[in-house]
Structure 1
Amino acid sequence: MPIRLLSLPIADVQYALECMDIDELIAFSLCSNRTKNLVKSSHEKILTITAEIDDNMIKLEMFVFGLGLEKEFKFVVHEGPSIEFHRGDGIEFWRREGFTQNDWIAHFLSLCHPRGKLLKINNVSTIACLDTVQQPFPKFFKLQICGNNSVELTRAAVSKFSSVAHVVSIESNPFDDENHISEFLNLNLEELRLENSLNPYKVDLNDLLLTNSTSLTIQTARITEKKLNRFVKIWMKGNRRFYRPKYIGLILNREINREDVLRGIKYQTVNGQEHRLKRLDGKELLIFVGRVNVSFEFR
């Protein structure tokens, strides 16, 4: 005999939700706004959801934690009212009349923690493909542009999505004499990560001085000790000069000489590894110089 689940006392409804597997919970959340809110308040939590764009196909990968268990689920969202649910033993087709690709994505994103939303641009052939997914991703935590995208596609993805992402990660190195790295370093971002170990990024003194993101990490960078030293000295002379970055971290493509980086600079060593510098206007800079890395923390 069928039981009207939502007519039960709230304690019984919560117990029923705890007995459901995550795929059952997701299916339950699609019944109505009330069931969606019940699932969002359940013990099962979608911690991260990765949306991977591959031309007109959007792949959603969910990482779920609940009651001590970790699980992964994958969906493929097409343009119509149906989606593919990929299980270990096959594929199920879910369908909801009236739902579009945007509706599916918006529903899944609403179930996830805000800091767990990742938009991944992978192997996209045309800029027009980005237009089809701009609407369902009004805001997310991280934008990841994979290394197999063209220069034009990388630019377009940064232009369309960087303003609604907390972290922007670019895994390609499209920079040369015509496409300079400053094009992205000038962007007003919360956190920018340039990540390409096979083809290091060439970084100049002016690139560091003109950086406009609050946090910048480059892996891997090509820059000399002389330029790093000059950067610190120019910052020290910038009395009451505005400088937006709070952190710059560089992982280098070779070993560096710590003495050359700090040559001619007065500093105070703290914690045996970090060096504190203080300007006339009271601003401080904390420097760490490792074997193949250097970081600057501006206070």
Structure 2
Amino acid sequence: MTSTFPLLQLPDRAIKTVFKQYGVTDLILFSTISNRAKCLVKSDKRNAYHIEFYIDRGCIVYLNCGTIIFFGESQQRESDIESLTPCAVRVEEQRPPSKISFTLPGYSVRDWLLHFMCVFNHPKINLSFAIRDEWMYSLESVRKIVEGISIKKLSVFENACEIMNYFPIMNSLEVKRFTLEQQLPEEDLNVIRKVLIGNIACLVIYRSIPIDLNMLLLMNCPDIDLCQSSITDKQLNKFIKLWLTGACPNLQDLDLDIVEQYINGFRLDHCVVMKGIKYEEFRDCGLTGCKYTIRKPDGTRALLSISDMTFSFKILDHDNTIS
């Protein structure tokens, strides 16, 4: 078939000129003809900015051009996702508006996932687990699909420990929560504590995590967002002083809130947080809190933002301006 496909008789440059008239669906189908066709589509650079695998919905590819690709969709609960072979693909294009669905013999969810990662130049996926009652696929079937694939962000609602045992390596971890949900089980807390002191690039926790000064100093993640922390203003003061003397060298961004403590009447006192620390103060003091910059002996600057229930720490480049 490849030798007789008319377009492939042309030189690469001529084929790329033809691509200008192709929609995404045309490119996808063309890319499955041969390795050369796949490489040509890859070089067209209609890149993806996200590839998401939702355990409650299936896979979604978001392209920079506005096109969205859906595949791996299932109406059955806790099904084996590989049973969807051949896997239907649905393409929604914006210009001109169109919705096209198709299947190709033998193409499974994993086949399409790897194919789209290649031709749309996106080497990692985001893997998102909804609450257990909404799962459409079994945990084991998802593991088989993404085996060997790099995970950029892992998002979980519950069963964090179980899920992270299946997918222990990721760039970013997000642990979500319900509004009135109980605290994490001790087993899950232990797993997350290990992640906090590991080499993960980004950590977002919407669950209540006991955080004290010792835990802050052990953190090795560059980007940390803890949305239900229990830190005190005196501990934050000590943390800042230790950072100024060399602690937490990898930290770039730290966001903490104390909503639960705030509800119980506790307020962060910026005077206590900044006591004994040399700083420059900026406008914006008031309802939005106060902002300060501090500087280490080596010239590294950090911006601190403090309100009654939030604390933010951000490393500034020397050229950064504060808004």
Change in CA separation of 1:176 and 1:76 when aligned onto 2, cut-off 3 Å: closer
Q: 1:183 aligns with which of 194, 210, 213?
A: 194
SS at match of 1:175: coil
* C-alpha displacement of 1:87: 5.8
Tell me what 2:62 maps to: 63
User: How far apart are the structure 1 equivalents of 2:90 and 2:310?
Assistant: 41
Q: 1:79 aligns with which of 71, 77, 82?
A: 82
Change in CA separation of 1:201 and 1:240 when aligned onto 2, cut-off 3 Å: closer
1:211 aligns with 2:215: no
Report if the CA contact (8 A) 1:46-1:111 is conserved: no
Change in CA separation of 1:201 and 1:16 when aligned onto 2, cut-off 3 Å: same
Report if the CA contact (8 A) 1:105-1:136 is conserved: no
* C-alpha displacement of 1:288: 2.3
User: How far apart are the structure 2 equivalents of 1:9 and 1:46?
Assistant: 26
- Unmatched 5+ residue regions in structure 1? none
Deviations 1:176-208 (A, max 9, x none): 5553452331222122222x2xx5444222221
SS at match of 2:103: strand
SS at match of 1:296: strand
Output the aligned Cα RMSD: 3.5
TM superposition score normalised by structure 2: 0.71
Report if the CA contact (8 A) 1:188-1:213 is conserved: yes
Residue type of the partner of 1:46? Answer: A
* C-alpha displacement of 1:112: 2.8
1:145 aligns with 2:152: no
Counting aligned pairs with the same residue, the percent is 22
SS at match of 1:44: coil
Report if the CA contact (8 A) 2:220-2:251 is conserved: yes
Change in CA separation of 1:211 and 1:226 when aligned onto 2, cut-off 3 Å: same
Change in CA separation of 1:290 and 1:8 when aligned onto 2, cut-off 3 Å: same
Residue type of the partner of 1:150? Answer: N
Q: 1:192 aligns with which of 180, 190, 203?
A: 203
* C-alpha displacement of 1:75: 0.8
Change in CA separation of 1:76 and 1:100 when aligned onto 2, cut-off 3 Å: closer
TM superposition score normalised by structure 1: 0.76
Structure ranking higher in strand proportion: 1
User: How far apart are the structure 1 equivalents of 2:268 and 2:99?
Assistant: 52
